[in-house]
Amino acid sequence: MEIEEAIPIFCAADETLNGLIAGRIYYDELPSTGFTLPAVVYSRISTARDHVVDTRSPRFQFTAWAATRPAAGAVEAAIEDAFIRYKGRASGIAIIQGVIEVAGYDMPAETDEYGARYGRACDVVIHYRTDI
C-alpha cells in the first residue's frame, strides 16, 4: 500500500478528526459535485528520499474545507493533532514520525453554485520506512 492510500485510513481511525469529517477526505481536490462539508483535501507537495536507509519523507498539504472559517480551523487543528509526533503503523506502513512542517494557514475562501467554503491548511511531513 502506498502512503497516499494509507492516509484516509489513518484519518478515519482518529476519533476526533473522523468525528468532524466522517470519512470525507479526498486526494487533490473536492469532488466536482455532491460533496458535504466539512471535508479534507490532501496533496503531495514533495518527496525526500534517504539514500542510506530505505526511508521516505513526503510532504503533504492538508486543507480543511468547511462552511465557516472557525469550523475549518477546528478540522485543521484535528489534522495537526492526529499527525504531530505520531509513531506507529498505519495500514501496514511503518511511520517513523509525523512532523507539522507548517502549521495552520488560511486559504482564500471559495464560492460557487454550492455556496461559500473556507479553507485552513497545514503541511505535514510523514517519515516512514518502506522495507518493513
Bond prior to 108 in cis (omega within 30° of 0):
no
Contact 102, 123 (CB under 8 A): yes
pLDDT tens digit sequence for 11-70: 999 999 999 999 999 999 999 888 899 999 999 998 876 666 678 889 999 999 999 999
Which cell numbers hold the place of 109?
475562501
Domain count, the chain: 1
- pTM of the predicted model, to two decimals? 0.91
Domain of 22: which CATH number? 3.30.2000.30
Residue-number span of the structural domain to which 20 is assigned: 3-129
Instruction: Tell me which amino acid residue 125 is.
Output: V
**Cα–Cα nearest to 88, from 2, 10, 22:** 10
| Rounded CA separation 15/29 (Å) | 23
